[in-house]
């Protein structure tokens, strides 16, 4: 039995207009988690969403993200960035070295509000759900200038992603 060493720049890459994802550890190597390095471009907003089965961990390597991982007092359908939890939690501007853990059932979101790309180490359990999701999402994003939002929704429905606010990519929203 051998372990795995993945050097910088190594791994299978998926590049779309929304994100750049490098598969570092996949279900073919073990059952611990799927591990990805993700480059989040300026203005990308994954939109608030929730999973019933998935656990996720985000660790910011370089750059900044606005992060949210709580049930808000009110789930507003257009924008999560003004959410507040009953305990007073609010969206956090997080930089390098910051970490966000998301258990199943917890609404969460992130956006890159800056003018620079942000690099994130992303772990997802159980594998290979996010591996398959990212592969299919990259095919959707590769078709033409406009993203087929219905195709994205069908994909999310199949992969335990209950979307609360829209996914957006483009100009950073301050």
pLDDT at 17 (0 to 100): 67
Burial 39-78 (b: 16+ CB within 10 A, else e): bbbbbbbbbbbbbeebebebbbeebbbbbbbbebeeeeee
pTM for this model (two decimals):
0.90
Domains and CATH numbers, the chain: 12-163 (2.60.120.10)
Q: What is the mean pLDDT of residues 57-67?
A: 98
List, in order, residues 6 or more apart from 172 with CB less than 8 Å away. Answer: 42, 43, 111, 112, 113, 114, 115
pLDDT at 171 over 70: no
- The tens digit of pLDDT for each residue in 33-53 reads 999 999 999 999 999 999 999
pLDDT at 173 (0 to 100): 57
């Amino acid at each position: 039995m051998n372990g795995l060493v993945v050097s910088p720049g190594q791994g299978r890459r998926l590049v779309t207009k929304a994100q750049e994802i490098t598969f570092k550890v996949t279900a073919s190597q073990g059952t611990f988690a799927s591990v990805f390095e993700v480059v989040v471009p300026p203005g990308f907003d994954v939109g608030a969403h929730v999973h019933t089965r998935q656990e996720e961990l985000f660790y910011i390597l370089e750059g900044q993200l606005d992060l949210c991982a709580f049930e808000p007092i009110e789930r507003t359908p257009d924008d999560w960035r003004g959410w507040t939890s009953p305990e007073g939690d609010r969206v956090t501007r997080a930089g390098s070295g910051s970490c966000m853990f998301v258990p199943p059932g917890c609404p969460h979101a992130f956006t890159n509000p800056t003018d620079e790309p942000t690099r994130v180490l992303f772990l997802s359990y159980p594998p290979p759900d996010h591996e398959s999701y990212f592969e299919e999402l990259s095919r959707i994003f590769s078709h033409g200038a406009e993203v087929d939002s219905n195709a994205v929704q069908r994909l999310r429905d199949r992969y335990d992603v209950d979307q609360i606010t829209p996914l957006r990519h483009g100009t950073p929203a301050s």
